[in-house]
Amino acid sequence: MQEFMNKNFLLTNDTAKHLYHNVAKDCHIIDYHCHIDPQAIANDQQFKTITQLWLSGDHYKWRVMRANGIDEKYITGDGDDYTKFLVWAKTLTKCIGNPLYHWSHLELRRYFDYEGILNEETAAEVYQLCNLKLQTKAMSTRNIIINSNVDLLCTTDDPIDDLMWHQQIKNDPTFHVSVLPAFRPDKAINIEKADYLDYLTKLEEVTKSKITDFTQLILALSNRIEYFNQFGCRTCDHALEYIMYQPSDSNTINAIFDKRLNSSKLSTIEIKQFKTALLQRLAHIYHDLDWVMQLHLGSLRNNNSVMFDKLGPDTGYDCLNDRFSAKALVSFLDALNSTDSLPKTILYSLNQNDNTMITSIMGCFENADTAMKIQHGSAWWFNDHKQGITQQLTNLANTGVLGNFIGMLTDSRSFISYPRHEYFRRILCNLIGEWVENGEYPNDISTLSELVKDISYNNAKAYFDFKF
């Protein structure tokens, strides 16, 4: 029996052990998609308790705590920090098979040097140990990032954001990690939302322009894209229930937009026509700037209306969607490709049943411009566990070119989530090791090492054209 999470955790063969310990382990990190707060980095924030660092904003943990019957007071409510930590420890014990169990213990080991097991009996000890260490300079947000070997990270930012914290970080000569914004224009696209007109007013204020037609909306967003570009932005991100393709002419789009400006309700077809047109226009701009377009597909958000009214969005009440349309995605990509305006694109689906479909679609739009111009994004959200990561890697290997994959990201709001890269790299090395030891790929350590380095780090740097 193997000891719990020893040095060869998830590494079940000799090739995997060599590749992880001698190659992957020392690779630095490029975290090209996350949700951490740039203000906390600019101010080099320190957290008073492990509860504030670990449980605040983490809807992954909130979901399983609710599933364990924990009162909301000790999840998102005003319960005291220690009790919140204690009920999390009680919950974690029951999470066998959940990646949170592994992530939590990796984080305790890597950042707090705690080699034990977190449970109800050890909660007080762990709470005190972590809180003491959090008061040291080594656990400021900047030092956490530096000591995690992060070279670059991309936050997630709304078009109206002034990026003042990014500017402050950029101007600080004492901090050498690149912290870049990523353009997330969901609020400008979601024309059906009740607060859409309020958002347009804010966009007008930021751009000092009037948005009275579709062309002016494009100009306003172009203004913000150029602003982001000045801060080194290399990527955008779109969170979509599903990709839609409902083309129409400019007169129709202007009529739809005018209708919404006058607070009239839009039909389902009109919403699809507007979103198709706006996403296409934005993609043209991304292409011209050589940005990477990330499309996060397949989530159905805020499903519990009672709790949405109490807590708002991004609080753990989301699920998989089943509305992926290969025809719509292919048509959307083809329309861009036909006008030589298809940007480098990463496709993520929350539904792992879409994996093979995505990798087959990728192959329809490759060219000599970029190795694997269309990427199959890493296993995401409900899939970033051992089985989901293995499945995504296997599907990509089976029908694509795994050696050109851009690897893992945290997609996290936590400053100590970087061990997710370690988790991914262990699984990657183990899968490659299995193929080698089964005689399915040569035992050429030099070639294997380059593959692991590329997937862990080099490919992402080249694909996004990051400069640091």
Confidence of residue 268 (pLDDT cuts 50, 70, 90): very high
pLDDT of residue 207: 98
Averaged pLDDT, 410-432: 97
Residue 368 has pLDDT above 90, yes or no: no
Please give the average per-residue pLDDT across 371-391, as a whole number: 96
Percent of all residues in the chain with a pLDDT value above 90, rounded to a whole number: 97
Domain with CATH 1.10.2020.10 in the chain: 46-139
- Taken in order 462, 463, 465, 468, the sign of the CA dihedral is negative
pLDDT band at 459 (very low <50, low <70, confident <90, very high): very high
Q: What is the pLDDT of residue 323?
A: 84
When pLDDT is averaged across residues 337-348 and rounded to a whole number, the result is 97
Q: Three-class SS of residue 388?
A: helix
Residue 445: which pLDDT band, with cuts at 50, 70 and 90?
A: very high
> CATH 3.20.20.140 region(s) of the chain?
14-45+140-464
| Confidence at residue 82, expressed as pLDDT on a 0 to 100 scale | 98
- Report the distance separating Cα 313 and Cα 330, nearest Å: 30
Instruction: For residue 339, name the pLDDT band (cuts at 50, 70, 90).
Output: very high
Q: State the CB neighbour count (10 A cutoff) for residue 182.
A: 22
Q: Is the pLDDT of residue 74 over 90?
A: yes
d(CA 463, CA 443): 28
Q: How far is CA 131 from CA 47, 81, 116, 135, in A?
A: 8, 11, 16, 7
pLDDT at 364 over 90: yes
Q: How far is CA 369 from CA 38, 126, 266, 290, 457, in A?
A: 33, 51, 40, 11, 20
Instruction: Tell me the per-residue pLDDT of 212-262, one tens digit each, with 9 for 90 and over.
Output: 999 999 999 999 999 999 999 999 999 999 999 999 999 999 999 999 999
C-alpha span between 270 and 195 (Å, rounded): 18
Residue 346 in 3-state DSSP? strand
- CATH fold of 14-45+140-464: TIM Barrel (3.20.20)
Q: Quick: pLDDT tens for 48-64.
A: 999 999 999 899 999 99
The answer to whether domain 46-139 has CATH 2.30.110.10 is no
Query: Does residue 370 carry a pLDDT above 90?
Result: no
User: Residue 44, SS3?
Assistant: coil
Cα–Cα distance measured from residue 148 to residue 140, given in angstroms and rounded to the nearest whole number? 12
Tell me the average pLDDT of the chain.
97
Residue 422 scores a pLDDT above 90:
yes
pLDDT in tens, 198-208: 999 999 999 99
What value does the mean pLDDT take over residues 162-185? 97
pLDDT at 328: 96
Question: pTM for this one?
Answer: 0.97
Kindly report, residue by residue over 307-337, the tens digit of the pLDDT: 999 999 989 999 999 888 899 999 999 999 9
Q: What is the mean pLDDT of residues 355-362?
A: 95
Q: Which pLDDT score, from 0 to 100, does residue 360 have?
A: 96
